[in-house]
Structure 1
Amino acid sequence: MSDWTGGYVADIDYTYGYYQELNPLRVALAFANAGLEMPAMGTACELGFGQGMSANVHAAATVTEWHGTDFNPAQAAFAQEMAATAGSGARFVDQAFADYCARTDLPDFDFIGLHGIWSWVSDENRAIIVDFVRRKLKVGGVLYISYNTQPGWAPTVPLRGLLTNYAEVMAAPGAGIGNRIGAALDFADKLLETNPAFFSANPSVANRLKLLRTQNRNYVAHEYFNRDWQPMSFADMAELLGEAKLSYACSAHYVDHIESVNMTQPQRALLDELPDPVFRQSVRDFMVNQQFRRDYWVKGPRRQNPLQRSETIRRQRVILTAPRATISLKVRGATIEGGLNEAVYTPLLDILGDYKPHTLGQLEAALADRKINLLQVLEAALILGSRGELAMAQSPEEIKAATPASQRLNQKLFERARASDDTSVLASPVTGGGLQLGRINQLFLLAHSHGKRGAAAWTDFVWMILSAQNHRLIKDGATLQTAEDNVAELQRQAQEFEATRLPMYLALGVLA
């Protein structure tokens, strides 16, 4: 019997995660900072889309034509159902890379995205992907790719091998992947109790093992227990993608663009001495002990002169995507934590607190009397954007065109929240991307969509759903036992939602 999984875990569902870097609209701000011309984004493709949450959100929330494949038919069926509900026209299938990438009926793409999957496929499939990108990515097009990388993963590679080997040869025959993972982790704990020299020499491995115990079992299965798993160095990635005529553009993780919050001054000075971009990134990975890279690559980079770059930066439209009152003025980079300049961020956030799109040029002009310049505004946008508190905004015409499909998809997700907390994202036609929010807030929005108004009505609506399923809220780490305590906590959350979150969600177009 043929193994259609290709060694990839398929007997446990993948998570319903959303990854903002797969939103092509985000490329614009990163490219503007890097001084690169931004291509049009008319067609896009995601390879290995998992449950398809990112692909469906981006298909519904933009006018971009989306395609994609994931080998798992159950995941593809879910993605197709979401696309049909939204009416986005996205085309998602369950073909293996070898079959999908050989198709002759696909368009050429402005954007191709892969999140994580590169680390979990065979060398044969990597070659197929590179060839597909070479043939199907347009000149000027952008590849987003994320992957586990060295040197950050280096100490954990032997542990991962030990866990998967135990699950394969020592766990009970016929046990599901969840049970095999549990048995492998139990064995690793027993090994740790013997004080093996490897753990003493690599103390981060023991911490990794403890972290595995706390993580979602579905995530652990797909992250660690596939047959193929290879952290790859940046230099090796550059060599492979060079075969597809791709050049490294910049990091897709916005905070990586602000090196003052990632590295010390001596580290930055050393990097400045390195003219080769590939070697520079390799050295940077050692400095920050990089474990996971999120990168944009471009087929034919076009550099802007300083005047063009400044004009491009000023044109970028942004909008706040988190309640103003919740935004912290602390920042964490790869290895450095610090405070944000209140003299810059407080007036900037006060302007953005109207939840309307503003260009960076408009923000620069509005803050000029406070001696805040364009580069400070840009840096703030990158930091806030890296935390999901700010996003790029589409044009009014694009917002209008994307609103119906976005709201249809969101209504489906509201309804799903009645019985499940596995999806935690909604589509915004304003940002062309997703907004992260939990089940309770989704149920408040469902109540609002049903004509319920005010915190008291939302509380009654949501408690009726939760109590029928014997669901209880958790507050300060403790489960609330009585109906009175649960209702009181729901009421508190509903009042906060009404005051600070509903106006934002309405402004971002998640529902009518």
Structure 2
Amino acid sequence: MNDWTAGYMTDINYTYGYYSELNPQRVGLAFLNRGLVFPEVTTACELGFGQGLSVAIHAAGSTAGWHGTDFNPAQAAFAGDLVAASGADARLRDDAFAEFCTRPDLPDFDFIGLHGIWSWISDANRAVIVDFVRRRLKVGGVLYISYNTLPGWAAFAPMRHLMTGHADLLGAEGRGIVNRVDGAIDFAEKLLATNPLFSRANPLVGERLKKMKEQNRHYLAHEYFNRDWHPMHFATMADWLDGAKLDYACSAHYLDHLDAVNLTPAQQTFLAEVPDPMFRETVRDFMVNQQFRRDYWVKGARRMSPLERVEALKTRRVMLATARDQVSMKIAGALGEASLNDAVYGPVLDLLADLRPHSLGQMEQSLRGKGLSFNQIVEACLVLTGVGHLYAVHDDAVAAKVRRQTDRLNAHLCGKARSGGDIAYLASPVTGGGIIVDRIQQLFVASIVQGRKQPADWAGDVWKTLSSQGQKLVKEGKPLETAEANLAELTAQARTFADRRLPALRALQIV
């Protein structure tokens, strides 16, 4: 392996994921829920951006100037193509952290984000990042950071060590990393089949191994098989970030804000009696067996008065981006599945069903006759955002200003969908972020943008693309063999798309 890799997996492409927590537009509601002042983001940075889908979408969907680096030149080149397609204000590089973080030509930032990177780099690189945040994050600025967490990974860490050892020592280099990953999983399964005392003491290890077998091998290679892999306790993370003068703000995973679906009444009472807020986070991680934290930190936490908080919340605008009847009334938390209270969520969803932006203050006025308190409305918005149905939205002027950038990026992404389905997101100028749109739906969007009016026309365009490459649809696990069958299925999908998905995509100004 080349020295420039620093032990990080480079012989297999990283996945084309999008991570909404890296969207600065998402910070406001989470901060206000905790009574914290959040900054206006005019400059932002993503460290270790992978294929760059998140940074490209966020640069296209905002007026902020973005910077970032990923040391893998192939990934940096791909990300650069996305940015060039949109024409957004983003400067992306393939520098190592030590090189990028000491550049003299960088601005100070309102927002810095790292998704997952922290767990897979050395202590030396962590020190570089902390120093960068200390010097380059503005006072009042926000850091988003996610990482593998203890105690959730404590039981599986020895098994991960065993599998990487197998891949390194017994997996032949010439077979490629995917075969080495498969070989390591197979070896681990055979070990567990001997019923070792380790698996008897840690019965959930076998279940996690089964889940691994179902996951994308590109993801597994980067998740488990790098040289560095360091889950850590929240308190250890706090010690690291103390040198950058950061205060813990809140979880970026909105469902973490809802204790009712994550903690039993006894746990809530016990936790409330822990006087130190930082130690309280550590205790909570034990209660939910936390495996992965997604957190916002701030340089200089500023508390609002209760009046200031409510007034600021009332100005926040949100919109529903899912058809009303497609919103599940169940959510999953650490305690399992829970049902949403229809007396609260029913009226909220009915109001938002027009797929238009509403301020929380307007929602309070409109729902006054439904017996809902403002706090219930705020909590409902947090939950609906957490499950991916609701989004914080830009001012109309900002959305109009960035629309051309997102249109160009979406045209580029839809063009890539002609040959494959690796990227399952398009950019919304309304939310400033990514929206899930699968390959076939992206091809429908491209047909609509080209002026096609009817679902049958969209289906015909998609079938021309697929058939020219010898590709066929798969239905109920079986390929559709004839052109007629494929065209009929695409037409049915197009009609469903027109009825169920297209209205929201139009509201999000993706189409």
Q: TM-score range by the shorter chain?
A: over 0.9
Which residue is 2:222 aligned to?
222
Q: Deviations over 1:356-411 (max 9, x none)?
A: 11001111110110111111111111111111111100001111111110110000
SS of the counterpart of 2:174?
coil
| Aligned structure 1 segments of 4 or more residues deviating by more than 6 angstroms | none
Report the CA distance between 1:477 and its aligned residue. Answer: 4.1
Which residue is 2:362 aligned to?
362
TM-score by length of 1: 0.98
**In 1, Cα distance between equivalents of 2:470 and 2:373:** 54
Which residue is 1:497 aligned to?
497
Report the CA distance between 1:2 and its aligned residue. Answer: 5.7
SS of the counterpart of 1:379?
helix
Which residue is 1:190 aligned to?
190
Which residue is 1:113 aligned to?
113
Which residues of structure 2 form unaligned runs of 5+? none
Which residue is 1:31 aligned to?
31
SS of the counterpart of 2:380?
helix
**In 2, Cα distance between equivalents of 1:234 and 1:245:** 16
Task: Confirm or deny: 8 A CA contact 2:140 2:299 kept in the other structure.
Answer: yes
Q: Which amino acid aligns with 1:108?
A: D
**In 2, Cα distance between equivalents of 1:299 and 1:334:** 30
**In 2, Cα distance between equivalents of 1:271 and 1:152:** 18
Q: Which amino acid aligns with 1:367?
A: L
**In 2, Cα distance between equivalents of 1:484 and 1:371:** 54
Task: Confirm or deny: 8 A CA contact 1:53 1:79 kept in the other structure.
Answer: yes
Say whether residues 1:181 and 2:181 are aligned partners.
yes
1:52-63 map, 5 Å: 52-63=52-63
Task: Confirm or deny: 8 A CA contact 1:156 1:205 kept in the other structure.
Answer: yes
Q: Matched residues, percent identical? A: 56
Report the CA distance between 1:467 and its aligned residue. Answer: 2.2
**In 1, Cα distance between equivalents of 2:422 and 2:369:** 47
With 331-340 and 450-459 compared, the bigger mean Cα shift is at: 331-340
**In 1, Cα distance between equivalents of 2:478 and 2:149:** 38
Say whether residues 1:12 and 2:8 are aligned partners.
no
**In 2, Cα distance between equivalents of 1:91 and 1:447:** 31
Q: Which amino acid aligns with 1:379?
A: E
Q: Which amino acid aligns with 1:378?
A: V
With 237-246 and 335-344 compared, the bigger mean Cα shift is at: 335-344
Q: Deviations over 1:437-474 (max 9, x none)?
A: 11111111011011111111111111121222232323
Task: Confirm or deny: 8 A CA contact 1:35 1:303 kept in the other structure.
Answer: yes
SS of the counterpart of 1:465?
helix
Which residue is 1:451 aligned to?
451
Which residue is 2:95 aligned to?
95
**In 1, Cα distance between equivalents of 2:299 and 2:88:** 28
Say whether residues 1:122 and 2:122 are aligned partners.
yes
SS of the counterpart of 2:331?
strand
With 435-444 and 334-343 compared, the bigger mean Cα shift is at: 334-343
Report the CA distance between 1:189 and its aligned residue. Answer: 1.7
**In 1, Cα distance between equivalents of 2:181 and 2:337:** 35
Q: Which amino acid aligns with 1:361?
A: G
**In 1, Cα distance between equivalents of 2:214 and 2:486:** 26
SS of the counterpart of 1:355?
coil
1:62-73 map, 5 Å: 62-73=62-73
**In 2, Cα distance between equivalents of 1:480 and 1:384:** 37
SS of the counterpart of 1:107?
coil
Q: Which amino acid aligns with 1:70?
A: D
Which residue is 1:77 aligned to?
77
**In 2, Cα distance between equivalents of 1:468 and 1:234:** 52
Task: Confirm or deny: 8 A CA contact 1:263 1:336 kept in the other structure.
Answer: no
**In 1, Cα distance between equivalents of 2:22 and 2:146:** 10
Which residue is 1:429 aligned to?
429
Report the CA distance between 1:86 and its aligned residue. Answer: 0.3
Report the CA distance between 1:235 and its aligned residue. Answer: 0.4
Which residue is 2:377 aligned to?
377
Number of residue-to-residue matches in the alignment: 511
Which residue is 2:249 aligned to?
249
SS of the counterpart of 1:269?
helix
TM-score by length of 2: 0.98
Q: Which amino acid aligns with 1:305?
A: S
SS of the counterpart of 2:4?
coil
SS of the counterpart of 2:180?
helix
SS of the counterpart of 1:174?
helix
Q: Deviations over 1:400-431 (max 9, x none)?
A: 11111011000000111000100011110100
Task: Confirm or deny: 8 A CA contact 2:418 2:465 kept in the other structure.
Answer: yes
Which residue is 1:315 aligned to?
315
Change (3 A) 1:477 1:310: farther
Q: Which amino acid aligns with 2:175?
A: A
Q: Deviations over 1:258-305 (max 9, x none)?
A: 111111111011111112111100000011110000000000000011
SS of the counterpart of 1:44?
strand
Task: Confirm or deny: 8 A CA contact 2:64 2:89 kept in the other structure.
Answer: no
Q: Which amino acid aligns with 2:222?
A: H
**In 2, Cα distance between equivalents of 1:341 and 1:456:** 40
Task: Confirm or deny: 8 A CA contact 2:246 2:300 kept in the other structure.
Answer: yes
**In 1, Cα distance between equivalents of 2:484 and 2:192:** 45
When the two chains are superposed, the root-mean-square deviation of aligned CA atoms in Å is 1.2
SS of the counterpart of 1:144?
strand
Report the CA distance between 1:173 and its aligned residue. Answer: 3.6
